[in-house]
Structure 1
């Protein structure tokens, strides 16, 4: 059973009929998606709701991969800077929250690690990732509720923090319980603050906040034993790197 499928089942099992709508997908991906959802519905739970796959509703996250403001080469250079900030090694346990498919592709292909967990609101995106990378673990739900069985992490990428429904303080509090000493939390956006503002106007259902200012992030980080070791806030690029210090938390 896939973790994100079980989470979906718990949300829909009490409804008599569910109508969900996805972006256009290939027949193969639709088959994969159906398999994931079927795997999430236990056969011994009695009568379950009817799921109309072709009408399944999901937020449109395609804008995360729609990097038409910059060249592909420039965009990939920024992605590589974000990934390198995590200092991934082969023994690392890595988590990506609200990442684009392209970002996950780049991490998988450029930075081998012991475990990679992708957390996302979209069942569709997780199905697409799982279709390509069976060893990548996927979980559908809120970042602050990630099961402890996958923790603790060496590297956490908050690739699109403005999509998280939780306050920054709550996010960092949750991450402090899921980080190994010296772990890095990388907060980023390859197009910067202005792009987030535009995305917020265009996709208000998905983008609910902006990127944190330096002083705000620094203060919230310190409250939860994170130290800011890098901060870049340029018109076309945002990158903040936090390092977890468990000894500070113990005090």
Structure 2
């Protein structure tokens, strides 16, 4: 946090490396979160304190604390969060805790945060995807770090008036001629993070269904195709397209 030579993308890469350590080593998660809380506690250097809160929020975007720590950490960020990070960390932590209640204490993303997540966390802003359906419908869909493929697809279907049958849908992303499909219970932004990570980054194995001739036909789960454009433009190179399946 106190390194004056780290700036911009370098900070994000180092932050992603720390988050990745928590993703791959569950026994370190509480220790990482506790150390970050200790670093921001009464830190009188405003710049270093902001770096610490930013990294804490990024960690909470990727993995949940254990049940031994979660309520104490929620109390800490609620009482001592600074410069807008109180609400940011509260929301991320409560989303992570909710996911842990559903999936168990080991709830975690597959990959560290995307560039979009780093930017919106720094700006204390919400994320939304500009969605363009193939039938011409267009609207914005709010997402957060813990949004799953099924949740995003379900939000879109309900917005379009489908009262029943919206469960079981998921998300796919097109990158040139390659398609990557996401299991409904996995996280939408992991698709983007997988593309953004440096080639030699120590990433985990993903279980996306990858094909080069378009989304797989004849599978049991229902699908629809919705193009997500503007929000991902800053991260995706030409030819990359995020779709709902």
TM-score, length basis structure 1: 0.28
Larger strand proportion of the pair? 1
TM-score, length basis structure 2: 0.29
